[in-house]
Chains A and B, each alone.
Chain A
Amino acid sequence: MSLALALRLALGNVRAYAVKNLIVGSILAFGTLFVVTGAALLNSLDRAMQASVTNAITGELQVYAKDARDPLSVMGDMGMTVADIGEIEDLAELRDVAASVAEVAEVIPMGIGQSTVFGGNDIDIVLGELRGAVNAGDTAKAAALLDRARRIASDLAPEMDNIEELTSDTAKLADDRATLARVTSDTFSGEFAASPIPTIDWMDSHLAPLATDGKMIYLRLVGADLDAFTRSFTKFELVEGAIPMRGERGLLIPESYYQLWMKNTVARELDQIRDEVRLDGETIGITGVLFDRVQRNSRQYRRILYQLDPAVADALEPKIRAQLGGIEGDMATLLKAFLAVTDENLESRYAFFYKEIAPNIRLYDIKVGDMLPLRAFTKSGYLKSLNVRFAGIYRTKGYAGREMMTDANTLIDLVSFRDLYGKMTDSQRAELADIKASVGGRDVGAENVEDALFGGGSGIESTVTSGDGFAAIDALSFGAIDARVSDTYPPEQLDSGLALNVAIRLRDPSRVPEGQAALQAAIDKAGLPLQVVEWRTAAGMIGQLVSVVQVVMAIAVGVMFLVSMVIINNALVMATMERTAEIGTMRAVGARKSFVVALLVLETLLVAIAAALVGSAGAAALVGWLGGVGIPAGIDMFSILFGGPFLYPSIGFAEVGLGVGLVCAVSVLATLYPAILAAGVPPVVALQSKE
């Protein structure tokens, strides 16, 4: 009864104190707009991110060792070091447990590690081809390749003069000069013809180290059941090559990584300069950063020159000369001038480069189909080598960008991953026992044996740089785990054995917490020492972004509401002061204190509800509009989070409910003090009031 009265009074008072309520209402409406819009954007971002991240690599859940020293970060963090995420001893057990959980749709075993692949320098490549030609008995090709090697050597001679000024190691310098002199001498072709293979060996060890541009390429390896991986992660897209089948070893390199690290650096630089001009609207001009890059690239002309077959070079020369307007000079001069592009000729030179030059050089250090010599340090710290076929190039849809890091996981079959990871098979263990026995029955553990064999952890191997050194290690390493493994493996090896982490796909992606709880419970019940984390956590830094934004936003909302509360509180206290006569009268006539409190709370609540409706409507309109036009990602990082170049946010009852609830709570809180003040107004003021 008196609630109806309070409501009637409150309604009247809201109108009667319109100015005050308009101010309070505006603040609350703005607060609602902010909270509801913010929540809608965050939730939309979270959903987009979930789709983007879970369908790229993480799955909805990830399982890994409970005793992991580092947190799992599937997407990779900035650093080059690999986190120690422990091991899942036996996949079979986990598969059994997962099969008993209704929420789980698929189990994709994985491992995360890193390795290097040696890109080789120009001489390495020429010598490698030369060796092949000699073995194949192709003397014409061998002669042409030898010619290339000798041209490279003659070009290196002037560099020795530069080095002379820098080095104090005169003995080595003299040796190197002698090497170049021998290769470039007129008699060298004869020496080669007399004993080709020993001569190539000699060039491998003496000439190849002189060319300093050989490169070690780091690969962030994600081992996986590639068949399950590529089927389950819908963002996977094969660009070139083929996905290794179950039982087949192979490597899938991300396209952007391939372009960035494995392309001929002159060509890549040309690409990037063109991108800066075309996509970023930069100009080369005659000074500045981009101009300097062009000049530097032009000085790198040898990276093109050394790769040209002499006959091809002769055919190209007049074309380049014509392109340059008929200038004088040898091929080196021409290439150098050609690469010194300007804003005017960039497009025509770019087109010419890809039409005439690129097809005649080794545009990429490695090509699909190559056997890649992977090197990795095993768990126990020794260097392991493994040849794995470069099976294909892939991209993660929506991840490709011009900035690196966004799509940098090289996928490798789980079995090869295990080999590189260094987990021993039973037969290897047996072999180790034999070695142990042969070292004289000394009581040494597996790791110590490795130390004994390889001179203590990673020590010497990491300093080895020549191919011979690796071969030496390979010769020492355990039977099957060396560069000469078979191209295939029994497919059932994917179903059991070691993994480092496991991606879980859920039947219902909108019920991640439930799935996580169910799986963790089943794992705990089975006594497996594993933990289940959701994709946000498993994704690493990227996954934390929404949480970070959420915290930032919560703080912003908190501060905003605190300020609002102070303002509303003050406005209400002032209003209450003006209303003492009215309140005193009600008290005198017989209204209880609680009635006065209820009345004031009701008044603000009415304002709050109206404001929340207005604010929510505004937020709905704003988010609706944004959902139509999309929020541009701008940078690659955001494209990944958005799952595309635009985020199309949407709004639902949850966000509106949150906004309305928060605003009502805040306004009630803000009214408490003024209401208590009002309840304390003594009835006597009614008699003191003057009209």
Chain B
Amino acid sequence: MKPAVSLQKVVKDYPLGKVTVRALHGVSLDIQPGEFTAIAGPSGSGKTTILNMIGCMDVPSSGSVALDGTETSQLSDAQLTRLRLDRIGFIFQSFNLINVLDVRQNVEFPLLLQGKHSARERAERVSRMVERVGLAKHAKQRPNELSGGQRQRVAIARALVTNPAIVLADEPTANLDSHTGHEIIELMREMNEKDHTTFIFSTHDPRVMECAHRVVKVADGVLA
């Protein structure tokens, strides 16, 4: 079976004024489909950069990134955008919901961008997802009317509504208290177990790491 994600000797340099900062020093990593993987490391170690590479949001300075065996370095911006829309779900540290849309509309957002589902199908999927994350009662509320935990549930629903192959979550619990954070991780694992969706999340919290099947440790841009 092909790995869901395969990084080969990925190097990432960021220009910073006149110098360049090397955020990743040749990272190689395979993640199998259905894995529930934590990328752990201290702040500034390169976790977010790794997720960016996997999520096709940025291109490596050298090395290769393949999703499901498909090399992504040759793809155009439009193709990468489509790839993110169809294959990847994102959960962010700061939730990143669209404030002018209510819960249902936020969840529906990627489906509308995909533009391949009928209104009924969209409505069914959205309802199911909203229910699964336990927000049926809050469906009509705006993000700013919700708690942090509730917002992250909306983000999870939005990430999963398109049935992506991979869900990426960058420190999804960092802005939550430990109890709520734990609930969120539990919810993610529940989804992972039911749908066999590949989950990759970053964290520097040891208690969150405990929930992962596999923990990949990063320090100063290299895997430990």
Q: Are A689 and B92 in contact (CB under 8 A)?
A: yes
- Cα distance, A15 to B92, chains bound together (Å): 25
Q: Is B113 an interface residue (CB 8 A)?
A: yes
Q: Are A589 and B94 in contact (CB under 8 A)?
A: no
In the complex, chain B residues 21-68 whose Cβ is within 8 Å of any chain A Cβ: 48, 51-52, 55, 57-58
A-B pairs with beta carbons under 8 Å apart, 15 shown: A588-B90, A589-B90, A589-B113, A590-B81, A590-B85, A590-B113, A592-B78, A595-B113, A683-B84, A686-B92, A687-B52, A687-B93, A687-B170, A689-B94, A691-B175
Q: Are B96 and A590 in contact (CB under 8 A)?
A: no
Q: Which residue of B lies closest to A10 (CB)?
A: B100
Q: Which residue of B lies closest to A685 (CB)?
A: B57
Interface segment among B104-112, B130-138, B193-201: the answer is B104-112
- Which A positions have Cβ atoms within 8 angstroms of B? 1-2, 4-5, 8-9, 12-13, 15-16, 581-582, 585-593, 595, 682-684, 686-691
Within 8 Å by CB of B96, from A2, A8, A13, A585, lies A585
Known: A16-B100, A591-B81, A593-B77. A686 touches B113 (CB 8 A): no
Q: Is B178 an interface residue (CB 8 A)?
A: no
- Cα distance, A591 to B90, chains bound together (Å): 13
Give the distance to chain A from B90, nearest Cβ to Cβ, in Å: 5
Known: A588-B55, A590-B84. A2 touches B175 (CB 8 A): no
- Which B positions have Cβ atoms within 8 angstroms of A? 48, 51-52, 55, 57-58, 77-78, 81-82, 84-86, 90, 92-96, 98-101, 105, 109-110, 112-115, 158, 170, 175
Q: Which residue of A lies closest to B78 (CB)?
A: A592
Contacts of B48 in A (CB 8 A): 687-688
Contacts of A592 in B (CB 8 A): 78, 81
Q: Which residue of A lies closest to B171 (CB)?
A: A687
Q: Are A591 and B77 in contact (CB under 8 A)?
A: no
Q: Which residue of B lies closest to A11 (CB)?
A: B100
Contacts of A595 in B (CB 8 A): 113
Q: Which of B48, B93, B158, B175 has the most CB of A within 10 A?
A: B93
Within 8 Å by CB of B98, from A585, A682, A687, A688, lies A585
- Cα distance, A582 to B170, chains bound together (Å): 16
Contacts of A2 in B (CB 8 A): 112-113, 115
Contacts of B110 in A (CB 8 A): 589-590
Give the distance to chain B from A168, nearest Cβ to Cβ, in Å: 95
- Cα distance, A374 to B174, chains bound together (Å): 105
Contacts of B84 in A (CB 8 A): 588-590, 683
Contacts of A581 in B (CB 8 A): 94, 96
Q: Are B113 and A591 in contact (CB under 8 A)?
A: yes
Contacts of A591 in B (CB 8 A): 81, 85, 113
Give the distance to chain A from B171, nearest Cβ to Cβ, in Å: 9
Q: Are A9 and B55 in contact (CB under 8 A)?
A: no
Q: Which residue of A lies closest to B164 (CB)?
A: A590
Contacts of B58 in A (CB 8 A): 682, 684
Contacts of B112 in A (CB 8 A): 1-2, 4-5
Q: Which residue of A lies closest to B99 (CB)?
A: A16
Contacts of A9 in B (CB 8 A): 98, 100-101
- Cα distance, A689 to B112, chains bound together (Å): 24
Give the distance to chain A from B77, nearest Cβ to Cβ, in Å: 7
Q: Are A684 and B57 in contact (CB under 8 A)?
A: yes
- Cα distance, A585 to B109, chains bound together (Å): 11
Q: Are B98 and A582 in contact (CB under 8 A)?
A: yes
Give the distance to chain A from B45, nearest Cβ to Cβ, in Å: 15
Q: Which residue of A lies closest to B97 (CB)?
A: A585
Give the distance to chain A from B49, nearest Cβ to Cβ, in Å: 9
Known: A1-B112, A587-B81. A682 touches B57 (CB 8 A): yes
Q: Which residue of A lies closest to B81 (CB)?
A: A592
| Apart from the given pairs A684-B57, A689-B94, 11 other A-B contacts in the complex at a CB distance below 8 Å | A5-B113, A9-B98, A9-B100, A12-B101, A582-B98, A682-B58, A687-B52, A687-B92, A690-B93, A691-B94, A691-B95
Q: Which residue of A lies closest to B158 (CB)?
A: A589
- Cα distance, A595 to B112, chains bound together (Å): 12
Q: Which residue of B lies closest to A689 (CB)?
A: B94
Known: A591-B113, A689-B94. A8 touches B101 (CB 8 A): yes
- Cα distance, A9 to B114, chains bound together (Å): 16
Contacts of A587 in B (CB 8 A): 81
Contacts of B170 in A (CB 8 A): 687
Contacts of A15 in B (CB 8 A): 100
- Cα distance, A2 to B117, chains bound together (Å): 12
Q: Are A12 and B158 in contact (CB under 8 A)?
A: no
Give the distance to chain B from A18, nearest Cβ to Cβ, in Å: 12
Those 5 A-B pairs whose CB atoms lie nearest each other, nearest first: A590-B85, A12-B100, A691-B94, A585-B96, A1-B115
